[in-house]
Amino acid sequence: MTTFGDTPPPPPPNDDEPTAYQPGPVPASDPDRPVDADRPVDAEPPVKERKRGSFLRELPFLILIALVLALLIKTFLVQAFYIPSGSMENTLHIGDRVLVNKLVYRIRDVHRGEIIVFRGPSSWQDNPEFQTSEPGNPISRFFHDIGSALGVAAPSSKDFIKRVIGVAGDHVVCCDTQGHITVNGHPLTEPYLYPGAKPSGSNFDVTVPKGRLWVMGDHRNMSADSRSHISDGNDGTIPTGNVIGRAFIRVWPPSDWGTLGVPSTFHQKGLAAALGNPLALGFVGAVPLTLLRRRTSRSRRQRRLARRASVKS
């Protein structure tokens, strides 16, 4: 019998009822006991384990996104290009990588002295400067194409890299009495040529047609450029529509990192004299058109006044 205020004794334990989990401290005398030995089976894993598992599940998706972004950038903005031959030595060596700006020529025209990557016309593709064999295995071919697009594998033998010597309307001649190539009568000083190589081992006299370019390699003895295709039609020139972009920086090897600018010889005064100053030509063409328009307007005004006078009379 209990009195008021007494606490009843606890009920006897029942082995059939689950008891609440009450972790206890890990005995210091048992160093081999796992740290999480007292963690319930259904408890959440530690934060580090959850993060590691989440990252491993997302890794394939992240790789796919990176490849898609790289291909989009390569298609529309910038493409890495692997130098496959010695035709541009010593400016560029075999195995160098350059970045090619694919947007610039959608904004402006190609300029003399720039290094460009372009898709060779059919006659160029029939006699490429280097040979590349595509893997027969579809999977290997897929990864080779990805590597080529990212600039880590040799490109297609249909693509070439050269320096622009003449643009539409330029008169390009080899050579003057001092052995220089001339553009519109102005000799080019070419310090970028391969040491000991002549500006050209063959003579030519070409006026570049509209919408085309005359291109040459910096190692003239190793370059199958416009000179090698002068009898293929269009005097060896290439269409501007085949230009992929401008090579503007070398990114590999790191020791040779640097920009690929336009040599000063292409900035000499009067080099574009054959084409004239576009702004000046625009003014010259606009003057007679303006005079003709004024004369037409004056005659129309006089006719209207004459009709009004006849009506009043």
Phi first, then psi, for residue 100 (nearest 5°) are: -115, 120
Which one from 85, 162, 200, 223 is the annotated catalytic residue? Answer: 162
Q: Give the 3-state secondary structure of residue 249.
A: strand
Q: Mapping DSSP to helix (H, G, I), strand (E, B) and coil, where does residue 296 land?
A: helix
How far is the C-alpha of 107 from the C-alpha of 199, rounded, in Å?
31
Take residue 293 and report the two structure tokens written for it: 């328009």
Sequence-separated (6 or more) residues with CB below 8 Å from residue 110: 116, 164, 167, 213, 240, 243, 246
What is the rounded distance in angstroms from the CA atom of residue 89 to the CA atom of residue 217? Answer: 8
* Tokens representing residue 25 in the block: 């401290």
Amino acid identity, position 79: Q
Active-site position among 85, 87, 148, 200: 87
Distance CA 84, CA 202 (A): 24
Angle in degrees, 0-180, between the axes of helices 138-149 and 47-76, rounded to the nearest 10: 70
Classify residue 194 by its DSSP letter. Answer: P
Q: What is the DSSP string of 40-102?
A: -TTSPPPHHHHHHHHHHHHHHHHHHHHHHHHHHHHHHTEEEEE--SSTTTTTS-TT-EEEEES
297 catalytic, yes or no? Answer: no
Which residues are marked as active site? 87, 162
